[in-house]
């Protein structure tokens, strides 16, 4: 349960740290760290408005998406503590439970009958399909490195694998998880949450018809997903056997560093052209594939 609590705490401050980083980078006073949470509070006090062209799927999709994210929290371990739910191959459960929530978000965008919603849903599904191999190749690499196929087993034995290449795999894992998180949450360089031009929007155009309480649930799910991927980054760069209090401090530090990386990226990097995004995403999978091939060579399984 420690990871569950820490991820909730990190998600509470995560969006505010991104905003403060962007404000400082641009020389503005900007909003406070708690401003996104205040905005969530405002949205939750408002009622939801539903279009006459939308159906039940549009109404239940935000709840389903948030529920899937909350369930995912249960399979994330912390330090030497196993996850609340842990079994062989649970990273597959992790990936497809998140995909289940995104599936309902895509359906809700289509359910509105809006051409813009359908366009955003098409792009979101396409990019998610492209980035999925990077995640599975990376986890397969870790599984072969440690000999375990569950998050708890992989991360508790990651630095005990007895190879001099663990540090390299930590850096690769950290980088790939950062990129996957940016793509899955529709941030730069793939998407720009600040844009208001429907023709270039992806995630934001999908939730244009959501309002009030439902939109608050969508934003909460996004903040939690950022913190979840931050927890995965923490697990691949911090050995599980260290002192528990030091682990907690390092966990929160990694989350802050991750949020600052996002803020700096969105401050100094332009968004990719739409036709460049597939190449960018497939490059991430290629990096994961190289790491996988190296593991095959090191374990003498490549003949």
pLDDT top residue among 56 and 79: 56
Round the average pLDDT of the chain to a whole number and report it: 88
pLDDT in the model for residue 240 = 82
**How much is the average pLDDT of 168-192?**
88
Question: What distance in Å separates the CA atoms of residue 15 and residue 35, rounded to the nearest whole number?
Answer: 9
Q: 13-49: string of b/e by CB count within 10 Å (b at 16+)?
A: bbbbbbbbbbbeeeeeeeeebeebbeebeebeeeebe
DSSP H stretches of helix in the chain: 2-25, 35-44, 56-72, 90-111, 115-146, 151-156, 166-184, 203-206, 212-237, 244-268, 277-298
Task: Give DSSP secondary structure letters for 36-101.
Answer: HHHHHHHHHTSPP---TT--HHHHHHHHHHHHHHHHHGGG--BTTBPPSS--TTHHHHHHHHHHHH
pLDDT in the model for residue 70 = 94
Question: What distance in Å separates the CA atoms of residue 65 and residue 108, rounded to the nearest whole number?
Answer: 11
In this predicted structure, the answer to whether residue 196 has a pLDDT above a threshold of 70 is: no
pLDDT in the model for residue 28 = 84
pLDDT in tens, 11-58: 999 999 999 999 998 888 888 888 999 999 999 999 888 888 888 899
Least confident residue range of 15-19, 133-137, 148-152, 268-272: 268-272
Question: What distance in Å separates the CA atoms of residue 4 and residue 248, rounded to the nearest whole number?
Answer: 12
> Residue 197 phi/psi, 5° resolution?
-100, 110
pLDDT top residue among 165 and 85: 85
Q: Minimal CA–CA distance to 231: which of 250, 212, 216, 211? A: 250
**Domain hosting residue 17, numbered range:** 2-298
Tokens for 101, please give them: 């929530």
For the chain, the domain total comes to 1
**Residue 274 within any structural domain of the chain:** yes
Q: What is the pTM of this model?
A: 0.92
Looking at residue 197, the DSSP 8-state letter turns out to be: -
Question: What distance in Å separates the CA atoms of residue 51 and residue 162, rounded to the nearest whole number?
Answer: 58
**Residue 169 within any structural domain of the chain:** yes
pLDDT top residue among 296 and 236: 236
Q: Which residues, other chains included, contact 32 with Cβ-Cβ below 8 Å and sequence gap of 6+?
A: 16, 20
**Residue 282 within any structural domain of the chain:** yes
In this predicted structure, the answer to whether residue 162 has a pLDDT above a threshold of 70 is: no
pLDDT in tens, 222-278: 999 999 999 999 999 998 888 889 999 999 999 999 999 999 998 888 888 888 889
**Residue 252 within any structural domain of the chain:** yes
**Residue 303 within any structural domain of the chain:** no
**Residue 127 within any structural domain of the chain:** yes
In this predicted structure, the answer to whether residue 282 has a pLDDT above a threshold of 80 is: yes
């Amino acid at each position: 349960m420690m990871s569950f609590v820490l991820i909730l705490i990190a998600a509470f401050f995560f969006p505010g740290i991104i905003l403060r980083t962007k404000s400082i980078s641009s020389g503005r006073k900007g909003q406070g760290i708690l401003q996104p949470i205040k905005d969530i509070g405002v949205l939750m006090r408002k009622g939801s408005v539903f279009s006459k062209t939308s159906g039940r799927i549009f109404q239940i999709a935000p709840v389903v998406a948030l529920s899937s994210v909350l369930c995912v929290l249960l399979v994330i371990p912390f330090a030497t503590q196993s996850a609340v739910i842990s079994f062989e191959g649970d990273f597959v459960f992790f990936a497809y439970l998140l995909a289940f929530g995104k599936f309902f978000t895509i359906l809700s965008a289509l359910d509105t009958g809006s051409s813009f919603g359908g366009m955003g849903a098409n792009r979101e599904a396409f990019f998610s399909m492209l980035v999925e191999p990077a995640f599975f190749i990376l986890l397969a690499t870790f599984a072969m490195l440690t000999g375990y196929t569950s998050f708890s087993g992989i991360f508790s034995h990651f630095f005990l694998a007895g190879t001099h290449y663990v540090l390299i795999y930590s850096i690769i894992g950290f980088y790939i998880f950062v990129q996957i998180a940016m793509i899955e949450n529709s941030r730069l360089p793939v998407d720009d949450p600040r844009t208001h031009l429907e023709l270039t929007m992806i995630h934001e155009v999908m939730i244009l018809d959501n309002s009030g309480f439902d939109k608050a649930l969508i934003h909460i799910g996004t903040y939690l997903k950022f913190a979840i991927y931050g927890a995965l980054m923490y697990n691949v760069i911090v050995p599980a056997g260290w002192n528990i209090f030091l682990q907690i401090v390092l966990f929160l530090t990694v989350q802050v560093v991750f949020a600052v990386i996002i803020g700096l990226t969105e401050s100094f990097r332009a968004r990719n052209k739409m036709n460049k995004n597939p190449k960018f995403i497939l490059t991430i999978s290629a990096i994961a594939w190289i790491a996988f091939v190296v593991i095959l060579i090191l374990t003498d399984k490549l003949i």
